[in-house]
Amino acid sequence: MRQITSTIFLTALMVLVMGSSAMAQRGGPHFRMDDEKYLRAAGAPSTRGLRSDASLPAEWTGLAGVRSEKGMLLRWSTSSERGSAWFKIECRKAGAPEWQVVDILPAAGESSTPRYYSWIHANPPEGAVEYRLRQIDREGEESSTGELRVESAGTEHVSLAPCSPNPANAETLAALSTGMELTGSLVIVDLAGKIRQIVFQKQDLLPGSYRFRIGTASLPAGNYLLRLTTSEGVSTQRLLVTR
């Protein structure tokens, strides 16, 4: 079974660290469940903002957010970066009309290998919160990851959002959220039930929200299902691939 390259990065992204005491963290070769190991390694549904892959300063592969005792922990990863300068982190209370810039972090600049970033919002707004990253290159041009919605703490549910764009050509964006710790697998299957692509498999997920890119260029045109399987059950969303 062929897996898209971003699957490797997304699998790493999904394993998040909870409760770090650092106010802001960058880099680190792995995302770990073990807080102390991570600290030693790293130190103390709109797509209109996305430009084409050829012009992106950083090709992001995933964005995740979970609530912890120290605040909101954001994680994101890139597969490569070309002339990237900064990541501008913006936040708003869900439903609010305006975004607020809460921090600006340096990007890698030039990289042909995966890079991993993390950041903690020590005092996020109460209730559901939305975040987005603005990727800024050395010429001042910007692109966006789109919005990531993180629900209020204590919501016991698992949900898989519709893909966007749908129909999809080269790629689509998907999002899921969970209010509990669980193990899950996310795959694309055809209408005969055959697995055509694995996004992640038997991955431990912490309570939070996850947004990621799925490449569809290798799939023949047709109808598919994006299927999330966890101990809580199975959720599906339809996906149409066009050429």
Residue with tokens 């692109």: 143
Please give the Cα distance from 206 to 108 (Å, whole number). Answer: 27
What is the pLDDT tens value at each position of the chain, 243 positions in all?
A: 444 333 333 333 333 323 222 223 433 222 222 333 222 222 322 222 223 333 456 677 778 888 777 888 888 888 888 889 989 999 999 889 999 999 998 998 898 888 888 898 988 888 889 999 988 888 888 888 878 888 766 556 788 999 999 999 999 988 888 888 888 899 999 999 999 999 888 888 878 888 888 889 999 999 999 999 998 889 999 999 998
Spatial CA neighbour of 223 closest among 235, 240, 202, 208: 240
Facing residues of 98 across strands? none
Question: How many Cβ atoms from other residues are within 10 Å of residue 214's Cβ?
Answer: 22
Identify the DSSP state of 231: T
Spatial CA neighbour of 213 closest among 229, 230, 195, 226: 226
Domain boundaries, the chain: 6-150, 158-241
Q: What is the DSSP pairing of strand 115-121 with strand 100-106?
A: unpaired
* Strand segments (E) across the chain: 24-26, 58-68, 71-82, 84-93, 100-106, 110-111, 115-121, 129-137, 142-144, 148-150, 158-160, 171-178, 182-190, 195-205, 208-215, 222-230, 233-241
Question: What's the pLDDT at 57?
Answer: 67
Question: What's the pLDDT at 165?
Answer: 94
DSSP 51-62: --GGG-SEEEEE
CATH of 158-241, one of 2.30.33.40, 2.60.40.2550, 2.40.30.10, 2.60.40.10: 2.60.40.2550
Question: What's the pLDDT at 152?
Answer: 66
Facing residues of 209 across strands? 65, 177
Query: Domain 6-150, what fold?
Result: Immunoglobulin-like (2.60.40)
Please give the Cα distance from 54 to 56 (Å, whole number). Answer: 6
